[in-house]
Amino acid sequence: MLPSDPPIPAASYHSLVTDHTQLASSVAAQGGVVMLIGAPDTGKSTLAGEILRQAASQGKVTAYVDADVAQSTVGPPGCVGLKWVRSVEDLRTISEADALRFVGSTNPARLVLQMVLATAALVEQAHASADLVVIDTTGTVSGVVGQTLKYHKVETCHPRLVVGLQRGSELDPIIGMLQRFFSVDVITAEVHPDLVPVSPDVRSEVRVQQFGKALSHPLEAWRIKPTVFAPTLPTGLDLDRLAGMVVGVQDGFGACLGLGVLEYTEGVLRVLTNHGEGMQGLRLGSMRIDPQTYETKPVNLRELMFGLAL
């Protein structure tokens, strides 16, 4: 960092920042674990990209942990992804994950525990070797779910700094909570005036395209036993109820190799996936996907497992 570009101070409550380029430069220079929070269309991913670019330009080894399971930048939706950025060139392949943890939903309200644990696992993995770890989070920032999710992510990921992007004072409840319960510095920044909001329809279409890429043909069909799942399937479950369910293909060491979709035909259960090599088990998600359109619908696993109406 140039002498004329001093670090932006974090305050005991929070400081308001308007210069995103200076903010990114300061965050990149100081390193450590940094968490970005904000509602949808506040520019978290854009700011993350600028931090990564500046850190790479400074010669730092940076890890980007993308925990926005609904609008994924790294890896497919429904997963938390890790991308190593050792040079600016690595940003050109930002969507290609170096490590994944399966969550199984694009709605953080449904699987808070899985979200928190997946994020914490990848942050721990990244922190061992990175000069800087940037955590991008979901746009869920209000109500019980938003506050619970951010509380436990800070609790388990131990960021040195939380950067909040907001309009007005919408993050004040979360910021106040974090300052009350954790010794973490917080900086808030106004949403960049040039930011163009993305409509829900466009977000949905992008998500469909990402699922299509993750499950691109030709998929290999692997015959599987009902005993390979987590959670374990109940005895006597009609396996036809599993058709179309999204699964995480697991490697036996806690990592997700990629996504798969279940098929049940002529009494045989199969998983269709591009990640069968090294597969040791399957994590059952909370989504059903149309293999033609790649549109998804949420599924309540308790209802699925115990024969209630879908």
pLDDT, tens digit, 9 for 90 and up, residues 58-68? 999 999 999 99
Q: Which of 119, 112, 117, 75 is nearest to 97 (CA)?
A: 75
Q: Which of 138, 98, 134 is nearest to 256 (CA)?
A: 98
* Residue 137 CB contacts under 8 Å (≥ 6 apart), including other chains: 35, 36, 37, 38, 44, 67, 68, 119, 149, 150, 153
* pLDDT of 9 higher than 50: no
* Residue 179 CB contacts under 8 Å (≥ 6 apart), including other chains: 12, 13, 14, 186
Phi, psi for residue 107 in degrees, rounded to 5: -115, 105
Q: Is residue 201 part of a domain?
A: no
The CATH number of whichever domain residue 98 belongs to comes to 3.40.50.300
Q: Look at residue 307 in the predicted model and tell me its pLDDT.
A: 67
Answer left, alpha or beta for residue 244, where phi above 0 means left and psi between -120 and 50 means alpha.
left
296 and 241 both lie in a single domain: yes
73 and 168 both lie in a single domain: yes
Q: Is residue 310 part of a domain?
A: no
101 and 248 both lie in a single domain: no
99 and 19 both lie in a single domain: yes
Share of the chain above pLDDT 90, in %: 84
Q: Is residue 34 part of a domain?
A: yes
229 and 166 both lie in a single domain: no
Rounded to 5°, angle at Cα 291 from 287 and 296: 30
Q: Is residue 235 part of a domain?
A: yes
Distances (CA, A) of 108 to 118, 132, 165: 12, 25, 19
Q: Is residue 211 part of a domain?
A: no
pLDDT, tens digit, 9 for 90 and up, residues 113-159? 999 999 999 999 999 999 999 999 999 999 999 999 999 999 999 99
250 and 179 both lie in a single domain: no
Both tokens assigned to 51: 């931090």
* pLDDT of 13 higher than 80: no
181 and 225 both lie in a single domain: no
Band of residue 279 on the pLDDT scale cut at 50, 70, 90 = very high
Q: Is residue 167 part of a domain?
A: yes
* pLDDT of 47 higher than 70: yes
pLDDT, tens digit, 9 for 90 and up, residues 148-180? 999 999 999 999 999 999 999 999 999 999 999
Both tokens assigned to 199: 């409509």
Give the sheet arrangement for strand 99-102, strand by strand. 15-17, 185-190, 161-166, 32-38, 132-136, 62-66, 79-85, 99-102
Q: What does pTM read for this prediction?
A: 0.91
Band of residue 7 on the pLDDT scale cut at 50, 70, 90 = very low
Which secondary-structure segment (H or E) carries 262?
strand 256-265
List the end-to-end C-alpha distance of the chain, in Å, as a whole number: 56
Band of residue 192 on the pLDDT scale cut at 50, 70, 90 = confident
247 and 131 both lie in a single domain: no
* pLDDT of 10 higher than 70: no
165 and 226 both lie in a single domain: no
* pLDDT of 75 higher than 60: yes
Q: How many domains does the structure of the chain reveal?
A: 2
Domain that holds residue 96: 15-190
98 and 157 both lie in a single domain: yes
Ranges 12-26, 30-44, 90-104, 266-280: which has the least confidence:
12-26
19 and 75 both lie in a single domain: yes
Q: Is residue 85 part of a domain?
A: yes
Q: Which long-range contacts (CB under 8 A, 24 or more apart) does 82-91 make?
A: 82/122, 82/125, 82/126, 84/126, 84/130, 85/52, 85/55, 85/56, 85/61, 86/56, 86/61, 86/62, 87/56, 88/53, 88/56, 88/57, 90/56, 91/49, 91/52, 91/53, 91/56
Return the DSSP state at 241: G
168 and 273 both lie in a single domain: no
Domain end marker among 174, 190, 206: 190
Q: Is residue 114 part of a domain?
A: yes
pLDDT, tens digit, 9 for 90 and up, residues 233-243? 999 899 999 99
The mean pLDDT value of the chain amounts to 91
